[in-house]
Homo-oligomer: A and B are copies of this chain.
Amino acid sequence: MVTKNQIKLVTSLQQKKYRNQHGLFIVEGLKTVREILNSELKPYAIFVDQERHKTDLGDLTFLVSPKVLAQMSGQSNPSGILGVFHIPESVQPSLDNWIIALDAIRDPGNLGTIIRLCDWFNVKHLVCSKDTVDCYNPKVLQATMGSIARVNVHYMDLIDFISKNDSVPVMGTFMDGSPLYKESFPKRGILIMGNEANGISNPIEEQVTHRIGIPQFGEHSTESLNVASATAILLSEIRRG
């Protein structure tokens, strides 16, 4: 039996304030919930629409009515499976590999896609400026497709983080940067990706040691690439060797 207070708690997790207060976040959909159950993240409770699923997802499963599930869900068409997980303890970002640093990424779809890219290209740590969208925002999680379980996402002061790690190259992408195809990428470093509208902010730009860019082909017409597309191209280039 699920109490009114539990429903209220889960519903509140649609908001960042309550996610931080309770140290919990929501994921929806059987596939993603299963993927996160198989990871190191700890489940708090799994709610299953009793009229739609017979799936046994372990001890913490609660069967609920479609009405209760709809109340908890942030989706207009709830999938029938909603998992509540503990936000993991923050570990120190390790610089033995590449780290991506995000300067004020605002679009949840972009952050989710970048987390998925980090997972694909074996980037274990993603460092976000404090004004980057929350990685436990339901729209971000939907775009990560479960990758959130395998990438450590940190929120911290970027200037502080970079200045404490000045032994590695700090690469930033700029419209006038040198073509990345001519770059030889070392085994480790920090790659900074900037805000969707404004790019990398001035104080962060001052800490960049390598200015790189993705060349445009044909007529110079488009203003910029989408930040997730640019991240995809850079990570592929870093890993291709």
Chain A window 212-241, contacts with chain B (Cβ cutoff 8 Å), 1 for yes, 0 for no: 001111110111111011101100110111
> Per a CB cutoff under 8 Å, which of B116, B215, B241 touches A229?
B116
> CB within 8 Å of B: which of A150-183?
150, 181
> Quick check: is A44 within 8 A (CB to CB) of the other chain?
no
For this complex, 28 residue pairs linking A to B, each with C-beta atoms less than 8 Å apart, are: A113-B226, A113-B229, A116-B222, A116-B226, A116-B229, A117-B225, A117-B229, A119-B221, A119-B222, A120-B216, A120-B217, A121-B218, A143-B226, A145-B222, A145-B223, A146-B222, A146-B223, A147-B221, A150-B219, A150-B221, A181-B241, A214-B236, A229-B229, A229-B232, A233-B233, A233-B236, A236-B236, A236-B237
> Quick check: is A109 within 8 A (CB to CB) of the other chain?
yes
CA distance A22 to B117 in the complex (A): 41
> CB within 8 Å of B: which of A133-147?
143, 145-147
CA distance A216 to B229 in the complex (A): 17
Closest B residue to A150 by beta carbon equals: B221
CA distance A224 to B120 in the complex (A): 8
Chain A: interface size category: 35 or more
> Quick check: is A61 within 8 A (CB to CB) of the other chain?
no
CA distance A223 to B119 in the complex (A): 10
Q: Which residues of B contact A223 (CB under 8 A)?
A: 145-146
Chain A window 17-33, contacts with chain B (Cβ cutoff 8 Å), 1 for yes, 0 for no: 00000000000000000
Shortest beta-carbon distance from A31 to chain B in Å:
9
> Quick check: is A122 within 8 A (CB to CB) of the other chain?
yes
CA distance A225 to B117 in the complex (A): 7
- By a beta-carbon cutoff of 8 Å, the part of chain A in contact with chain B is 109, 113, 116-117, 119-122, 143, 145-147, 150, 181, 214-219, 221-226, 228-230, 232-233, 236-237, 239-241
A122 engages B217 (CB within 8 Å): yes
B222 engages A147 (CB within 8 Å): yes
* Most chain B beta-carbon neighbours within 10 Å: one of A181, A230, A232: A232
